[in-house]
Homo-oligomer: A and B are copies of this chain.
Amino acid sequence: MAKQTTIHDIAKALGINSSTVSRALNDHPRVSIKTKQKVFEMAKEMNYQPNVLAANLRTKRSNTLGIVVPHISRAFFSNVIAGVEEYAQQKGFNVIIAQSKDMLERERKSVQTLMNSRVDGILISPALGNEDAQHIQEVIDRKTPVFFFDRHYKNIETTRVLMDDQQISAALASNIIQQGAKRFLVLSGDLKTSIYQNRLQGINNMLADYELPEAMVQETNLTYESSSALIEQIVQEGSFEFDAVMAMNDMAALGAQEALKKAGFTIPDQVLISGFSNEMFSRFSSPPITTVDQNGDKLGYMAAKKIIDFIEDPDPIAVEETSTLKSELILRKSSQRYQ
């Protein structure tokens, strides 16, 4: 029996991409009628038989999308989920969620559970400080798309929808410098993680632009408790010589603010404070805390659109794509001496 004609043979014969051939055969709107005609004629000429098994597999979808988030209770991630659900609903997709609690072992199990649940694709924001992404590669190798949002594994080639962490952190640092701050303390998460690296880089770039010393950095788990305990300790040692505390989330910013108030510092007169992620409480604390709104719902919507469009019209050629979304500064009293 002669070797069966594939879409790749048609593509080669016409000198166009296999993905274009695939789309043409599936009557995709992005392909011109002229191209479709050429492809159909060539397919007929070469006696092309669509792979029924593959077509069948393709339609055997569950119309379910899986999401793995580190913490479902965080404002940013629940906004992302809301955005994913909005697009998914428009397209008739259901969404199931698993959380990793930022632990690699739980992330692995979550991915496995979603695969056992026969999801058509997975959106994931990986656990912090981990580089071993074999469990992700295995899923991709089994032809189920895994796309990243907010955080990502560097060594996996796929679609990523990320935030502009470095740029927005630089803009925030610039604003705080203009309020008069010179000595920065940064409360960071695990610096093995790209989002924290990028935020710190943005801050230090801006400090360098203003010829100010590099920020002093403390890695913490970014909880209210650890952050307030850390500030308390620095104050007790008599080594609190900062006039700005930039925390990489709002819980840590609030913990720092409460500890500083307790130690007799006035905010923002003596110390300027900023957080990140715009948790609801940061608007109502005393003083309200300057933060960054990451537009999680828009990020979720975009990530859902990318993966659902891919599921509905898979590109046979491996793709790598990185999109970056803009965040927004939310300037409040904790960092504003002059308004």
Contacts and interface: CB of A to CB of B under 8 A. Distances in A.
A81 interface: yes
A94 B73 contact: no
Number of copies: 2
Interface in A87-110: 89, 94-99, 101, 106, 109-110
A279 interface: yes
Contacts of A78: 72-73
A214 B116 CA distance: 53
Contacts of A95: 98, 113
Contacts of A285: 281, 284-285
A299 to B, nearest CB: 16
Interface residues of A, number: 35
Contacts of A85: 99, 101
Interface in A15-29: none
Nearest to A101: B85
A328 to B, nearest CB: 19
Given A89-B106, A94-B98, A96-B114, 4 more contacts: A85-B101, A116-B117, A279-B281, A284-B286
24 contacts: A66-B96, A72-B73, A72-B81, A73-B75, A73-B78, A81-B99, A85-B101, A89-B106, A94-B98, A94-B110, A94-B112, A94-B113, A96-B97, A96-B113, A96-B117, A97-B98, A116-B118, A117-B118, A254-B284, A258-B284, A280-B281, A284-B284, A285-B285, A286-B286
